[in-house]
A and B are shown apart, each in its own frame.
Chain A
Amino acid sequence: MTQSIAIKIDGVSKRYGRNVLAVDHAKFDIKEGEFFTLLGPSGCGKTTLMRMIAGFETLTEGTIEICGQDMHGVPPNKRPVNMVFQSYAVFPHMTVAENLAYGLQIDKLGKSEIEKRVKDGLEMVRMSQFSDRRPNQLSGGQRQRVALARALIKRPKVLLLDEPMSALDAKLREEMQVELVTLQHEVGITFVVVTHDQQEALSMSDRVAVIEGGVVRQIATPSELYEHPKSKFVADFIGKMTTFPGKHRGDTNAGSKIEIPHFGEFQCREIVTDSPDLVVGIRPEKIEVRRREPEGDVIKMRGKVKNIMYCGGENHVYVDVDGHEIVAYLQNETRGFHEKFQVGDDVWSYWELNDVVVLDH
């Protein structure tokens, strides 16, 4: 499938007043049919960016193109995008069916066509039996489905979803995540989701843009983001990571030579920055912990178990290495595994060279 560009964001900035720069020169493309997520902590500018795509905020600088068309001066009601609001904004004074029909009535469709589309829309989100209900008679999840159907039956080029799961409880959230992805595959429309929940972003998206302080830090697939985060911020925001300050000690054919002061030197496959100071990180589940000294080509460190947190499927073991804390997630592979270590035990923690991530500091 040749993927054309659904949304082109080119040098977009948004300034409030003189001092607040909500979005700072964002520049990226969202491909057609993609499930794209804008991820970041609250106040990072991701919602502003989405509202600029929808047309509810003006741009201070830059351009936004949707399907090759510049959106400058195009009001929200004329844009080929639809939005599912954080509060769902399902009109309380209309029935479910009326909510769905509301957007279609504009499009000068015949009565029977509207009815058919409403019916299909309700089937799509499995809400057919609720068509005459009022929103206050629905649960949060049901309201979300109504909002989804209402936006989707407009057949937009792009569907925008603002924090779609934030109003749902944890159990429902997971269900809806699966459902949303399935739905997106069915309809084949580009989805752009704003969320602050990294788990949600990783599990649903084709690609994720991590935004911090109005700046897009990294755009990548979920696995790329997780395995090869480019910055400490991204690494920290997505999952947990133990980090050490490192030094770049030149390159060889085999890769770059990195020194972790007090712990030794190792080879790394990547060629990295020009600055000698950098950060070396390792994901907790990549770390092994054992009593005996490991053999082979691994990076190993000797320490004391400082704390153990039992988390059901895994144990989070905190190891103190010369005042440096290393976190390891150990699978509870066998019953009673969690009793293997005690606080105060002398242990080795070690990991494969390949698993090391080198970050800009």
Chain B
Amino acid sequence: MQNWRDEKNEFSILMLPPAFWLVTFFTLPLVVVWVYSFGNRGPLGETNLGFTLVNYVRAFELVHMAILWKTVWITIIVTALCFAFGFPMAMAISFAPGKWKLRLLMLVILPFWTNLLIRTYAWIAILRPRGILNGGLKWIHDTWYSLIGYGVEEIPKFVPWEILYNDKAVVIGLVYVHIPFMILPIYATMEKLDKSFLEASLDLGSSQMRTIFRVMMPLCMTGIVSGAMLVFVLTLGNFIVADVLGGTNSLMIGNQIARQFGAARDWPFGAALSFVILYATFILLWLRSIYAARLEQRDAKR
């Protein structure tokens, strides 16, 4: 059999268009932003190129680090919730009978056909004090009190649950927006999973729950990791949800960066902020690969 590795010339010609694409549309903009991050903002908001580290110094100021810290926390919570809800959903789809599978998958993907902003705005209608959620709660409240014998006049006033315009709303919105990115990769690995692993676990006496935690989850780890990575990265950069559903202090790092490229017209600072996140991500990935390499080494030694 011919090995494509031996055909260096043909291979490199084939690789040319994608390489070109990658350099032009991925690397180049990144380089531009990177160069900007060392520039400075002119008095009129124009970007003057140069070499200064002031933007980075400013990015490391406590106030920005605090926002980044909070954003990371929210992102961790959102990722965890996406997993907690997404994993059972992926399982439900994976175990659904054939014709239902496609319908359920469609339901997961369907929201993507609607603009993100509009979907986020819809949550206002659900969560606001006189919204759908509180309307339902009020109905339960009133029905309950009349059932236990209160007269119409005696029913205590319903106090709406304040769940809009605070971090709870932001988390709900972010989970809603990003959960498909968790479900789809997990579902994909589940579909490839040999179901006899699960049967073997049951057969060996495990309960369904133990089977899920001890066999299903570890075997779906690649899907879980890629889903979590996607959700994490997308949530970290999202600013629309915090904008629309957040309260007075729900600022996330994405809002901060977006504002620098928008109203504040301070592109160099915005660029530096973005790159601080990028560097942090790289360091995390680097640490993770070191950890993985160590595990491998340990395994090899045994």
Contacts and interface: CB of A to CB of B under 8 A. Distances in A.
Interface of A: 54, 56, 75-78, 81-83, 85-87, 89, 91-93, 102-103, 106-107, 132, 134, 147, 150-151, 154
A238 B23 CA distance: 66
A127 to B, nearest CB: 16
Interface stretch (B3-11, B49-57, B205-213, B224-232): B205-213
Interface string B180-218: 000000000000001011011111111100100011001
Given A85-B199, A154-B205, A102 B302 contact: no
10 contacts: A54-B199, A76-B199, A76-B202, A77-B202, A77-B205, A82-B204, A83-B200, A85-B200, A89-B200, A103-B205
A151 B299 CA distance: 26
A89 B210 contact: no
A82 B202 CA distance: 10
Given A102-B214, A106-B210, A132-B302, A89 B205 contact: no
Contacts, number: 62
B196 A85 contact: yes
Contacts of B207: 77
A102 B194 contact: no
B204 A151 contact: yes
Given A76-B203, A103-B204, 6 more contacts: A77-B204, A77-B205, A83-B203, A86-B196, A93-B218, A132-B302
Contacts of B218: 91, 93
B95 to A, nearest CB: 13
A20 to B, nearest CB: 15
Contacts of A75: 202
A153 to B, nearest CB: 10
Contacts of B203: 54, 76-77, 81-83, 151
A227 to B, nearest CB: 37
Nearest to B215: A91
Task: Sort chain B's interface into a size bin.
Answer: 20 to 34
Contacts of B197: 89, 91
From B205, B206, B207, name the one whose CB has the most chain A CB atoms within 10 angstroms: B205
Interface of B: 194, 196-197, 199-207, 210, 214-215, 218-219, 221, 299, 302
Contacts of A134: 299
Contacts of A54: 199, 203
Contacts of B200: 83, 85, 89, 91, 147
A163 B52 CA distance: 71
Contacts of B202: 56, 75-77
A132 B219 CA distance: 19
Nearest to B200: A89
A82 B200 CA distance: 9
A89 B206 contact: no
A151 B202 CA distance: 12
B194 A89 contact: yes
Contacts of A92: 219
A67 B194 CA distance: 31
A189 to B, nearest CB: 15
From B204, B206, B207, B210, name the one whose CB has the most chain A CB atoms within 10 angstroms: B204
A91 B199 CA distance: 11
A182 B96 CA distance: 43
Nearest to A93: B218
A77 B210 CA distance: 11
Give the 3 A-B CB pairs with smallest separation, nearest first: A103-B204, A89-B200, A106-B205
A230 B207 CA distance: 44
Contacts of B201: 91, 102
A93 B219 contact: yes
From A78, A83, A86, A147, name the one whose CB has the most chain B CB atoms within 10 angstroms: A83
A103 B202 CA distance: 9
Nearest to A103: B204
Contacts of B302: 132
Nearest to B198: A89
A81 to B, nearest CB: 8
Contacts of A150: 204
Nearest to B299: A134
A54 B201 CA distance: 12
A78 B205 CA distance: 6
Given A91-B215, A93-B219, A132-B302, A102 B204 contact: yes
Nearest to B204: A103
Contacts of B215: 91
B174 to A, nearest CB: 31
B100 to A, nearest CB: 16
Given A93-B218, A93-B219, A102-B214, A107 B205 contact: yes
B38 to A, nearest CB: 46
A75 B299 CA distance: 37
Nearest to B221: A93
B39 to A, nearest CB: 49
Contacts of B199: 54, 56, 76, 83, 85, 89
B196 A106 contact: no
